[in-house]
Structure 1
Amino acid sequence: MILLNWQEIFYINRFTTSRWDPQSRDDVYFEMIFIEEGSGRISLNGKTINYKGRDSFIFSQEEKPEIKIYETTTFIVYRLTQLMFSSKINLNERQYWLRRCEYIFNHPKRSFDTAVRKMEDQDLIWRIIFFINKENSNKEQYYLEIIANMLSTLLSILARNVTDTPFSKELLLKSAKKTERIDEIYAYIRYNIYDSKKLKIANIARHFHITSSTLSNYFKKETGNSLHNYIILYKLEIVKDRLLNSEFTVSQIAIQLGFTDESHLTRIFKKYCDSTPKQFKIDNGQE
């Protein structure tokens, strides 16, 4: 296997400027912009946020922020590229990165805002950034492995800050708004989508301190869909994304998402999507 260069997978750039020049983002899968110092504003989809030193922002490929600088700003930009999905990459951390990114992108409460709101996490983020930049500059023995481990920690902190509301095991028993209750169930499922054991209805119910029947009936009543069906449909959305945007085989995707094997995934996919995974790729110009 010909391995990709590290820089093709994880892009690191630190620069100071008084004018933001938009760069091509065609290869971007996940972008992190950290403000070391300076001030200005960042706009996305009609919403504008004034930034200052130590602020952090995260964007998907489809999200193209507009940046206006008021005071000369030092930016630190990290990018995970689409080549993360390539079969030519052999990084142990890749699956973890993908899972954390998917959780962040798909969290029901995610909105355009500063990515880190907890002060203690903000301090931790900047310590990690310091050491990533140091390792990348010095390039001493094992520096790539060290950066990969620190990036995993960084993504976990960002995932933790997607919402200020932590999982509440008593949410369904108290007077929270219905949308908040459902969002907590959605969030739990999406966070654990690769862990089939934690997705068992009995285990989800145990997490929220209610019975399986209460959880199932409540979810069906509020969403019009069964909990089992929702989990399958969410997995299939990930399957479709992997089929169209990665070099993973159907067999590899099946294993990643907890299906028994390729035939199991194919059977479920055909039932819900009216085609096989391979036909889906062909229909969407990927074969």
Structure 2
Amino acid sequence: MIQLNWQDIFIIDRFSTSRWDPDNNGDLYFQILFIEEGSGRITIKNKVTPFKSRDIFVFAKDEIPQIKTHENTTFIVFKFTDLLFSSKINLPDRQSWLRRSEFILNHPKRKFEESLKSGKDRDLIWRILFFIRKENNAKEQYHLQIIANMVSTILSILARNVTSKNPESVKPRSHKKSDRIDEIYAYIRYNIYDSNLLKISAIAKHFHITSSTLSNYFKKETGNSLHNYILLYKLEIAKDRLLNSDFTVSQIAIQLGFTDESHLTRIFKKYCDATPKQYKDSHITTEE
């Protein structure tokens, strides 16, 4: 097991400034920006969004915010590095962090805007944030485990705010077909690591319809079978893990609910025209 400092994987930074200096750290997986006090505007890819005190933003690794402050502003930044993917480290609650961050960053309805829609959730996150900072400063026994659990909670709260409705409790009552499909997408992505919850019968039960009705509806609206959509989404996660982590094919197979390495390899080759190893090797060679 490689011994790494907590700060190599997860960085907490708090500072006040009237001028933001962009962070070009290529090792970042994603970051969460908390506006403790102040105001200004954030620009990403020519889109401008204003910010104020207690706003929260999530940025993927390829999203480098350009920030202009209107006054002296206090920021708190959570930085998650690519080492989060490493299977050779023992980080408390790492799998929960990966699952929630993937849901947030890869959700089809995600867009660049302030991340919270619920005022109650905002209050809850800022209370949790206070205790994270307190634990991080005191560094008493078990503080890493306590911080990891609280960060998991923050990620879960952000995940349920990706859409205007909670993906755990949403019911398909919308009159808009696109909204209903988005609700099904959200459920699948939220539960992608739980094979039992991804059974068509389980999804149908969640949405209070029959399995055949669900399957027929999904096929009619998307042109793809529900089973195939789930499988393709798992393969997209597998590709990302192959290129950005040191997980073995066997570990990725277990994480995504495949029977074993050979099962994942067979499915991967069928849909991607290469084995996982061939896919990884070809992309590494291309990058070099």
Length-normalised TM-score, structure 2:
0.96
Separation (CA, whole Å) in 1 of partners of 2:179 and 2:46: 25
2:105 corresponds to which residue?
Answer: 105
Contact 1:34–1:75 (8 Å) recurs in 2: yes
Q: Give unpaired runs (5+ residues) of structure 2.
A: none
2:131 corresponds to which residue?
Answer: 131
Separation (CA, whole Å) in 1 of partners of 2:60 and 2:42: 15
Separation (CA, whole Å) in 1 of partners of 2:166 and 2:155: 17
Are 1:267 and 2:266 an aligned pair?
Answer: yes
Structure 1 residues 5-51: Cα deviation after superposition (integer angstroms, max 9, x where no partner)? 10000011000000001112311112000001011001122321111
1:209 corresponds to which residue?
Answer: 208
Per the alignment, in what secondary structure is the counterpart of residue 141 of structure 1? coil
Greater shift, 249-258 or 103-112, is seen at 103-112
Contact 1:4–1:88 (8 Å) recurs in 2: no
Per the alignment, in what secondary structure is the counterpart of residue 71 of structure 1? coil
Structure 1 residues 110-167: Cα deviation after superposition (integer angstroms, max 9, x where no partner)? 1111112211111111111111111111111111111111111111111111111234
2:197 corresponds to which residue?
Answer: 198
Structure 1 residue 169 displacement after superposition: 5.6
Please give the root-mean-square deviation of Cα atoms over the aligned residues, in Å: 1.4
Are 1:242 and 2:235 an aligned pair?
Answer: no
1:95 corresponds to which residue?
Answer: 95
Separation (CA, whole Å) in 1 of partners of 2:2 and 2:213: 52
Structure 1 residue 170 displacement after superposition: 4.5
Alignment: residue pair count: 285
1:61 corresponds to which residue?
Answer: 61
1:73 corresponds to which residue?
Answer: 73
Per the alignment, in what secondary structure is the counterpart of residue 72 of structure 2? strand
Per the alignment, in what secondary structure is the counterpart of residue 259 of structure 1? coil
Are 1:144 and 2:141 an aligned pair?
Answer: no
1:26 corresponds to which residue?
Answer: 26
Structure 1 residues 197-224: Cα deviation after superposition (integer angstroms, max 9, x where no partner)? 1111111111111111111111111111
Structure 1 residues 71-100: Cα deviation after superposition (integer angstroms, max 9, x where no partner)? 110000001110111233112411110000
Are 1:187 and 2:203 an aligned pair?
Answer: no
Contact 1:58–1:115 (8 Å) recurs in 2: yes
Separation (CA, whole Å) in 2 of partners of 1:138 and 1:54: 24
1:282 corresponds to which residue?
Answer: 281
Query: Does the C-alpha gap of structure 1 residues 75 and 226 become closer, same or farther in structure 2, counting only changes over 3 Å?
Result: same
Separation (CA, whole Å) in 1 of partners of 2:174 and 2:273: 41
- One-letter amino acid matched to 1:275: A
Structure 1 residues 161-214: Cα deviation after superposition (integer angstroms, max 9, x where no partner)? 11112346652xx45211111111111110010000111111111111111111
Per the alignment, in what secondary structure is the counterpart of residue 219 of structure 1? helix
Contact 1:169–1:209 (8 Å) recurs in 2: no
Q: Percent identity?
A: 69
Separation (CA, whole Å) in 1 of partners of 2:249 and 2:92: 20
Q: Give unpaired runs (5+ residues) of structure 1.
A: none
Separation (CA, whole Å) in 1 of partners of 2:231 and 2:220: 18
Separation (CA, whole Å) in 2 of partners of 1:183 and 1:106: 13
1:164 corresponds to which residue?
Answer: 164
Separation (CA, whole Å) in 2 of partners of 1:43 and 1:104: 20
Contact 2:22–2:64 (8 Å) recurs in 1: no
1:253 corresponds to which residue?
Answer: 252
Contact 1:42–1:65 (8 Å) recurs in 2: yes
Structure 1 residue 227 displacement after superposition: 0.6
- One-letter amino acid matched to 1:114: E
- One-letter amino acid matched to 1:269: F
- One-letter amino acid matched to 1:206: K
Separation (CA, whole Å) in 1 of partners of 2:121 and 2:171: 25
- One-letter amino acid matched to 1:105: L
Contact 2:136–2:143 (8 Å) recurs in 1: yes
1:224 corresponds to which residue?
Answer: 223
Per the alignment, in what secondary structure is the counterpart of residue 201 of structure 2? helix
Are 1:8 and 2:8 an aligned pair?
Answer: yes
Per the alignment, in what secondary structure is the counterpart of residue 90 of structure 1? coil
